[in-house]
Chain A
Amino acid sequence: MKTLVFACLLSLLTGSLQAQTFITRNGYAGFFSKTPLEDIKAENRQLYAVIDATKKNLAFTCLVKGFLFPKQLMQEHFNENYIESDKFPKATFVGNYTGDVNAANAGKYPVQIKGQLTLHGVTQTIDVPGTIEVRDNKLIGASEFKLTPGDFNIKIPALVSEKIAKQIDVRVLVECNPK
C-alpha cells in the first residue's frame, strides 16, 4: 500500500516536472509608430509561442500577413513595399531568458530576453527586458522594446520618411498554457 502511494506521488511529481512547457497559438504582437503626421498601428493575434520554463528557452513565430492595420491601404503597402511578405512570410524569434521564474509560485518576475529575431529575411540579435507572470497555472510573458526598420533591411522611401518613426515600438504579450 505504501509503495502504491509512493508510486502515485512520484508519477504526480514527475508529471508536474514534465509540464514545464507552456504554449499558445494566440499570442499578441503589435507595433506602433508615432509621428506628428501619422500614427501607425498593426496587430497580430496569431503569435505562436513556446516557453520552456526548465531550460528557460523561448520561441515565437508568426505570419507577417497576420499583422492587421486599421487602414486597408497601409496594410497593403506594408506587405508589398516594406516587409515583402510574399518573399518573407514568417517572422521568428528564438532565444532564452535570464531571471528566476518559478512556475510553481504565482507572481510576476522580471526577465531579460536575448535571442535571434528574424524579420524580412534578416536575423539580428536582440536583448530586451520583459516580465514573466505565473498565474492560474499559466505563464504570461510580456515585453516592450524598439526596433529600427533599417536593421532589418527595410527601406523607407524618402517621400514617407516623415510619416514613419525612426524607431518602431513593439509590444508582445503571450498567455501560455501548459502543454
Chain B
Amino acid sequence: MKKKSVFFSGMVLLVAIIAATAFYMYQKPRTSLADVKADYSVSAKDLYAAFQQDEKKASQQFVEKVVEVTGTVDNVQVSDSTISVLLVGDEMGGVNCSVRKNQDGAETTPAKGATVKVKGRCVGFLMDVNIVDAVIEK
C-alpha cells in the first residue's frame, strides 16, 4: 500500500515537472544574441560577396548562424522598435542589419561612414544579406 502511494506521488511529481518545463519552454521569449558567441566573424564585403557568388552554398554556411559582421555604415534608418543599419557590400547591395532597440531605448545609432561591428542571426539573401536580432558591438 505504502509502495503504491510513493509510486503515485512520484508520478504526479514527474508529470508536474514535465508540464512546468513544457510551459516554460513554450513561453520562452526569443533569445537575445548579446551573450551568444558568434559562429563566424566576417567583413560585410566578404559576406556579401559569398552570397553574390553562390547563394546556395553561402546559405548553407551562414543562414540560421550567428555572424559577426564588420563593415562601413552605408545608411541608417530608425523606426519605433528597430535600427536598420546597412553595411557596404558593393555598389548593388550590402548587409542589412536589423538592430533591436534596447528596452530603455539607449541603443546608440551609428553614424554614416563609421566602421562598426554588428552581431546577429543571418536569415538569407535578397538584394542584401539580411541579419536580424542584431546587436552593435563596441
Inter-subunit contact B130/A46 (CB<8 Å): yes
**Known interface pairs A26-B96, A63-B130, A68-B132; A89-B28 also in contact (CB < 8 Å):** no
Across the interface, name the chain A residue whose C-beta is closest to B133.
A68
Q: Closest approach, in angstroms, between the C-beta of A157 and any C-beta of chain B? A: 16
- Cβ–Cβ contact B29 & A70, under 8 A: yes
Check: B71 CB closer than 8 A to any chain A CB.
no
Please pick, from B31, B77, B124, B128, the residue contacting A65 in the complex, using a CB distance under 8 A: B124
> Smallest distance from the beta carbon of B10 to chain A beta carbons, Å?
28
Q: Contacts A26-B84, A46-B98; is A66 near B132 (CB within 8 Å)?
A: yes
Contacts of A25 in B (CB 8 A): 84, 86, 96, 127-128
Count residues on chain B whose CB falls below 8 Å from chain A CBs.
Answer: 27
Interface residues of A in 64-81 (CB under 8 A from B): 65-66, 68-73, 75
Q: Determine whether A58 belongs to the interface, using a CB cutoff of 8 Å to chain B.
A: no
B64 on the A face (CB < 8 A)? yes
Residue in B28, B59, B79 whose CB lies within 8 Å of A72: B28
Q: Is B27 an interface residue (CB 8 A)?
A: yes
How far, in angstroms, from A48 to B94 measured CA to CA in the complex? Answer: 13
User: Which of B79, B96, B126 interacts with A61 by CB under 8 Å?
Assistant: B126
CB distance from B50 to the nearest CB of A (A): 16
Q: How many residues of A contact B (CB 8 A)?
A: 20
Main secondary structure of the interface of A (DSSP, over half): strand
B58 within 8 A of A: no
CA distance A75 to B123 in the complex (A): 13
Interface status of B30 (Cβ within 8 A of chain A): yes
**Once the chains bind, are A65 and B79 in contact (CB under 8 Å)?**
no
Bound complex: CA of A122 vs CA of B26, how far in Å?
A: 30
Cβ of B30 and Cβ of A72 under 8 Å apart?
yes
Cross-chain contact A45 with B82 (CB below 8 angstroms): yes
| Beta-carbon nearest neighbor of B124 in chain A | A63
**Could you pull out 14 A-B pairs where Cβ atoms are within 8 angstroms?**
A26-B82, A45-B81, A45-B82, A46-B132, A61-B126, A63-B126, A65-B64, A65-B123, A65-B124, A66-B130, A68-B133, A70-B30, A72-B28, A90-B126
Interface residues of chain B, those whose CB is within 8 Å of chain A, are 25-31, 59, 63-64, 77, 79, 81-82, 84, 86, 96, 98, 123-128, 130, 132-133
A interface residues (Cβ-Cβ under 8 A, vs B): 25-26, 28, 45-46, 48, 61-63, 65-66, 68-73, 75, 89-90
- Beyond the given A48-B126, A63-B125, A63-B126, please list 16 additional residue pairs across the A-B interface where CB-CB is below 8 A: A25-B86, A25-B96, A26-B77, A45-B79, A45-B84, A45-B98, A46-B98, A63-B123, A65-B63, A65-B64, A68-B30, A68-B132, A69-B30, A70-B29, A71-B29, A72-B31
